[in-house]
């Protein structure tokens, strides 16, 4: 009953565009150790978050800042708990690629929980003015809606170092223009979620070695693809921090079965 009432309350808040409440977060994830720390929500940051995550009706208040902080940190924990066996098997990567980092939550989290503080992270993002999302749909080269300036600001707030931001606009929206290879490539709620993963596979594989792994969130509408089926991969589910008791799907893929073979 409590779960139902919480879900109903979340739906009502979204419908009425009310400020989200911390009580709507999954308590298991909200209580986890805090690695990602949100700065004060300035008008500029608020606009950037709304562009990337239009489902959040945040306000420039401490309640909204804390909600966003706990949601972002909790979401990282859900993803990490699903990926942990693969990351442990991978070991210490020489270089990591984040496709669509948003405000950098996963960069901060991985660098701290995996002790990858000095590991070079390449962040593939671009500044945009409109949100052009699909749901497991086609790829658009002009669909970026991030803010490179604010991405740098949030990472600085978290005292994050050893990263480099690559403007996708300057690279012609071509992943192949990045200076790979990478041992770990991931995209959470971007490639695979908004744009179906098969549109990116050739470029992603070109940035991987035989020991590399990639992790990508899949939208519930994703129906599978022949391109992915031909690759060694594992389907995972992970717990989300908001709404409560919501789970999502992720795929971990590699160029060789050996990269995944020792992981059940």
Say what the pLDDT of residue 12 is: 56
Q: What is the pLDDT of residues 41-74, one digit of tens each?
A: 999 999 999 999 998 899 999 999 999 999 999 9
Which has the higher per-residue pLDDT, 88 or 4?
Answer: 88
Please give the torsion angle defined by the CA atoms of residues 135, 140, 141 and 145, in that order, rounded to the nearest 10 degrees: -40
Query: Taking 60 as the threshold, does the pLDDT of residue 11 lie above it?
Result: no
Give me the architecture of the 80-261 domain, per CATH: 3-Layer(aba) Sandwich (3.40)
**DSSP H helical ranges for the chain:** 2-16, 27-30, 43-52, 62-90, 105-113, 148-157, 201-206, 226-229, 258-261
Query: Taking 70 as the threshold, does the pLDDT of residue 2 lie above it?
Result: no
Q: What is the pLDDT of residues 73-124, one digit of tens each?
A: 999 999 999 999 999 999 999 999 999 999 999 999 999 999 999 999 999 9
Mean pLDDT of the chain: 92
- Report yes or no: 96 and 184 within 8 Å, Cβ to Cβ: yes
- Report yes or no: 160 and 146 within 8 Å, Cβ to Cβ: no
Give phi and psi for 234, each to the nearest 5: -130, 140
Say what the pLDDT of residue 264 is: 58
Handedness of CA 66, 36, 74, 55 (dihedral sign): positive
Say what the pLDDT of residue 4 is: 46
């Amino acid at each position: 009953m409590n779960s139902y009432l919480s879900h109903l309350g979340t739906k009502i808040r979204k419908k009425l565009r009310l400020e989200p409440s911390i009580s709507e977060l999954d308590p298991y994830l909200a209580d986890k150790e805090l690695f990602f720390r949100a700065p004060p929500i300035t008008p500029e940051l608020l606009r950037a978050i709304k562009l990337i995550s239009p489902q959040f009706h945040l306000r420039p208040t401490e309640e909204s800042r804390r909600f966003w902080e706990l949601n972002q940190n909790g979401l990282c924990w859900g993803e990490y708990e699903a990926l942990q066996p693969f990351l442990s098997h991978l070991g210490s990567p020489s270089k990591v690629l984040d496709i669509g980092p948003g405000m950098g939550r996963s960069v901060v989290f991985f660098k701290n929980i995996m002790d990858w503080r000095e590991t070079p992270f390449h962040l593939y993002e671009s500044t945009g003015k409109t949100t052009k999302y699909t749901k497991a749909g086609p790829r658009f080269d002009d669909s970026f809606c991030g803010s490179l300036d604010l991405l740098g600001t949030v990472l600085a707030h978290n005292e994050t170092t050893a990263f480099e931001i690559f403007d996708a606009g300057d690279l012609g929206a071509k992943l192949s223009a990045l200076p790979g290879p990478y041992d770990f490539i991931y995209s959470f709620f971007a490639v695979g979620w908004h744009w179906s993963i098969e549109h990116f596979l050739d470029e992603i594989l070109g940035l991987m070695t035989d020991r590399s792994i990639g992790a990508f969130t899949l939208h519930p509408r994703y129906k599978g693809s022949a391109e992915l089926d031909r690759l060694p991969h594992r389907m995972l589910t992970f717990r989300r921090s908001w709404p409560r008791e919501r789970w999502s799907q992720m795929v971990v893929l590699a160029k060789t079965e050996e990269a995944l073979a020792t992981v059940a």
